[in-house]
């Protein structure tokens, strides 16, 4: 735990020092920029469906940025998830960034702290791809892979298929999580851009628990798959 905290503190201080030095290097051809995006703010149509959100923001220059990412779900005080990430990002190729930093799972209890190393970028045919490797304070490891693509139906009507898969290196009894592949998520969202910066959408979201995680859910009498129809908004500033 002490080594984990020391490593995380060192990483944060190094990032802050590096970004501070960049403020003196900024020039007219590489200005300091910022961006905030509400990627998803949505609610299932059924009364027992959760409210979900995904928000990210960055500040920095063309090659180097500081990112903040947060996502979560809320149904009631006993059923909620909240994750926050603080990352340093460096461009390694056109449209591709390498990222490293810290993640905290605030809920469900008990909270978890992770070191983060990953990448994100735009592949040929405009596939948005991300891959992240997590190392927890108690030696846990996890992998998250995601892919999405926007299909332009008209200038304002856009269909976005999404897919994500998660895996854990070892089981976590406190969170009812088994080792190996834990879950997959797939979604389809149709948005209408009222302006370029704001768009309501409707969609369908499907998730399924896998492997040992699915076995734990079955033993607890829980469903291993879920499908919900959703309505939401997306915006950026």
Q: Which one is predicted more confidently, 72 or 3? A: 72
The domain tally of the chain equals: 1
Establish if 164 belongs to a structural domain: yes
Establish if 27 belongs to a structural domain: no
The whole domain housing 36 covers 2-22+32-236
**What would the pLDDT profile of 146-157 be if each residue is shown by its tens digit?**
999 999 999 999
Establish if 139 belongs to a structural domain: yes
Q: What are the DSSP calls for 97-123, one per residue?
A: EEEEEEEEEEESSSPEEEEEEEEEEEE
Find out whether 198 and 172 touch, Cβ atoms under 8 Å: no
* The pLDDT value given to residue 103: 98
* The pLDDT value given to residue 107: 86
Establish if 104 belongs to a structural domain: yes
Q: Tell me the H-state helices in the chain.
A: 2-25, 211-219
**What would the pLDDT profile of 10-31 be if each residue is shown by its tens digit?**
555 545 555 554 544 455 688 9
Smallest CA-to-CA distance from 44 within 189, 164, 236 is with 189
Q: How many CB atoms lie within 10 A of CB 167?
A: 17
Establish if 16 belongs to a structural domain: yes
Establish if 122 belongs to a structural domain: yes
Q: Which two tokens stand for residue 33?
A: 């920029």
Please state the pTM of the whole predicted model.
0.87
**What would the pLDDT profile of 54-105 be if each residue is shown by its tens digit?**
999 999 999 999 999 999 999 876 678 999 999 999 999 999 999 999 999 9
* The pLDDT value given to residue 91: 98
Confidence of residue 138 (pLDDT cuts 50, 70, 90): confident
Q: How many CB atoms lie within 10 A of CB 41?
A: 15
CATH classification of the domain holding 190:
2.40.160.40
Find out whether 231 and 45 touch, Cβ atoms under 8 Å: yes
* The pLDDT value given to residue 75: 84
* The pLDDT value given to residue 126: 95
Q: Which two tokens stand for residue 165?
A: 């898969």
């Amino acid at each position: 735990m002490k080594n984990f905290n020391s490593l995380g503190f060192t990483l944060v201080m190094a990032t802050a020092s590096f970004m501070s030095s960049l403020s003196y290097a900024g020039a007219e051809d590489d200005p300091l920029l910022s961006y905030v995006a509400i990627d998803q703010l949505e609610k299932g149509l059924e009364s027992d469906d959760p409210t979900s959100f995904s928000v990210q923001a960055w500040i920095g220059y063309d090659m180097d940025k500081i990112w903040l990412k947060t996502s979560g779900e809320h149904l009631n005080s006993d059923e909620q998830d909240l994750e926050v990430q603080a990352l340093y990002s460096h461009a390694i190729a056109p449209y591709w960034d390498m990222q490293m930093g810290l993640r905290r799972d605030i809920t469900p209890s008990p909270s978890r702290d992770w070191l983060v190393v990953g990448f994100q970028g735009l592949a040929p045919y405009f596939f948005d791809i991300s891959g992240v490797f997590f190392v927890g304070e108690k030696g846990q490891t996890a992998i998250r892979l995601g892919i999405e693509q926007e299909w332009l139906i008209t200038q304002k009507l856009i269909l976005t298929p999404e897919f994500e898969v998660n895996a854990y290196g070892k089981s976590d009894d406190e969170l009812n999580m088994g080792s190996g592949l834990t879950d997959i998520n797939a979604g389809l969202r149709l948005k209408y851009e009222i302006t370029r910066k704001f768009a309501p959408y409707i969609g369908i979201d499907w998730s399924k628990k896998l492997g040992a995680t699915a076995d734990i859910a079955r033993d607890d009498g829980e469903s291993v798959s879920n499908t919900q129809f959703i309505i939401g908004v997306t915006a950026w500033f």
